């Protein structure tokens, strides 16, 4: 038995120690690492009926990835324009949602973190309550509001801004509002946590030196809050790029989200390897994008999740 294992068992006792070790190994290897590797492996295989799995036809192939870029063979098109367009639209829209959330939440987080009093607790409660409501129900609530005969259209037509009801769903406004709505809390809390630990004296000092409010934020608060901001942005970006419920409920009939393509491959086409390949592409692209942006803003991976 290796020395560190022996130390571990003398420290925790054999019973508790092996239980702990077993649970951790099951979680990290059995639930996190192996399934991801299995999905990666699966995405390189052709779609075969169950009896042929493991047979001579079950070889590694790039077919599924080729399909995303070039489309079906002999399809007559140079590229798989439909799927690629959905893919890039999803990424761009997720970035837009993230930026929108950051702009919306930064002032609130700053205000909540820097002021004291009883009303702050009420605000915190009001922030948390919507987050406890089911994701589907939140999307449903927005659908009631943005629908053709919904509250917003009634108001706008009633007040004479529009003559005819505006189709928020077909124009994807409902979708973006829904995605932004769903992840507000994940943006506010990391920023709030960081700014709360900022010494108010630093801001006072900057003011005494004659800095204007935008200057204080640019030079003092934002550099200090960078870990929180990057943590919030990473979470919101990853979750909105991987969102499935909001696009299904609030998305227009003609516009798809990339996760919906994955869902279709699994449930409608029963082409699991193809769906796995798309999932791998989504995961890898998101991770690379997040890492690139973190390098650009010089933030460490260790700051995430704090």
Partner 1 sequence: MKNFSFMRLSLWFYLAIFFAYLLGPLVIMSVTAFNSPGFPRMTPWECLTFEWFGALFSDERILNGIWNSILVGFGTVILSVSMGLAGALMLTQIWPKLRATYYTVIIAPILIPGVVLGISTLVFWDRINRMLGLGADSFLSNGLFLTIIGQSTFIASYCMLVLVARLQRYDIALTEAALDLGATHAQAFRKVLLPFMKPAIASAAVLAFLASFENYNTTTFTFGEYPTLTIELAQKVRYGITPAISALAFIIVVLTVFAALANEANLRRKELVAKARKEATVEELSSGRIRMPGFLSSNWAAVALVVVACATVVVVGTATVYSPQQCIADVQEQKRLETEERINELRRQRDLRRQQQQEAEQGNAAEPNQSQPTGNNSGFGNVFAPSALSGEEEEASEAEEAPSGNNSGFGNVFDPGSLNSGQDN
With CB under 8 A as the contact rule, the residue among 102, 120, 198, 244 that binds partner 1 is 244
Query: Of these, 5, 6, 34, 52, which contacts partner 1 (CB under 8 A)?
Result: 34
Residue 34 or 82 with smaller CB distance to partner 1: 34
Smallest separation, CB 74 to partner 1 (Å): 28
Q: Which of 5, 6, 20, 75 binds partner 1 (CB under 8 A)?
A: 20
**Quick one: 62 or 301, whose CB is closer to partner 1?**
301
Phi-psi region of 305 (alpha: psi -120 to 50; beta: other; left: phi over 0): left
Q: Is 94 an interacting residue with respect to partner 1 (CB under 8 A)?
A: no
CB of 167 to partner 1, least distance (A): 16
Where in 161-190 is the site for partner 1 (CB under 8 A)? 181, 184
Among 63-71, 124-132, 198-206, 220-228, the segment contacting partner 1 (CB under 8 A) = 124-132
Cα distance between residue 217 and residue 208, in whole Å: 14
Does 130 bind partner 1 (CB under 8 A)? Our answer is yes
Can residue 298 be called a binding residue for partner 1 (CB under 8 A)?
no
Helix 81-114 to helix 272-296 angle, to the nearest 10 degrees?
A: 50
Residue 270 interacting with partner 1 (CB under 8 A): no
Q: Is 92 in the site for partner 1 (CB under 8 A)?
A: no
Options 16-24, 95-103, 162-170, 189-197: segment touching partner 1 (CB under 8 A): 16-24
Q: What is the spatial distance between Cα 206 and Cα 115, in angstroms, rounded to a whole number? A: 18
Rounded to the nearest whole angstrom, what is the least distance from the CB of residue 219 to partner 1 in the complex? 19
Beta carbon of residue 252, minimum distance to partner 1 (angstroms, whole number)? 14
By rule CB under 8 A, what count of residues binds partner 1? 91
211 is an interface residue for partner 1 by CB under 8 A: no
| Cα 39 from Cα 149, distance rounded (Å) | 44
């Amino acid at each position: 038995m290796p020395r560190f294992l022996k130390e571990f068992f003398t420290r925790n006792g054999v019973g508790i120690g092996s239980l702990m070790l077993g649970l951790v190994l099951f979680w990290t290897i059995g639930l996190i690492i192996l399934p991801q590797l299995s999905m990666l492996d699966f995405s390189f295989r052709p779609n075969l009926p169950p009896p042929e799995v493991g047979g001579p036809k079950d070889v590694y192939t790039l077919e599924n990835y080729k399909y995303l870029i070039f489309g079906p063979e002999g399809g007559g098109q140079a590229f798989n324009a439909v799927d690629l367009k959905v893919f890039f639209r999803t990424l761009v829209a997720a970035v837009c949602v993230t930026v929108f959330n950051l702009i919306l939440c930064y002032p609130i987080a700053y205000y909540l973190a820097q002021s004291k009093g009883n009303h702050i607790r009420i605000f915190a409660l009001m922030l948390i309550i919507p987050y406890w409501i089911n994701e589907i129900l939140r999307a449903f609530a927005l659908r009631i509001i943005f629908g053709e005969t919904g509250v917003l259209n009634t108001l706008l037509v009633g007040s004479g801004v529009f003559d005819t009801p505006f189709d928020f769903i077909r124009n994807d406004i409902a979708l973006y509002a829904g995605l932004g709505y769903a992840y507000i809390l994940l943006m506010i809390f990391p920023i709030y946590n960081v700014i709360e630990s900022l010494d108010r004296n630093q801001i006072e000092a900057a003011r005494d030196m004659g800095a204007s409010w935008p200057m204080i934020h640019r030079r003092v608060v934002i550099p200090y809050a960078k870990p929180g901001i990057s943590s919030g942005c990473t979470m919101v970006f990853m979750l909105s790029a991987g969102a499935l419920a909001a696009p299904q409920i609030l998305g227009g009939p003609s516009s798809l989200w990339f996760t919906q393509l994955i869902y279709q491959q699994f449930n409608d086409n029963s082409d699991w390897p193809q769906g796995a390949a798309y999932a791998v592409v989504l995961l890898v692209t998101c991770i690379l994008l997040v890492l690139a942006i973190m390098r650009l803003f010089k933030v460490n991976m260790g700051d995430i999740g704090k």
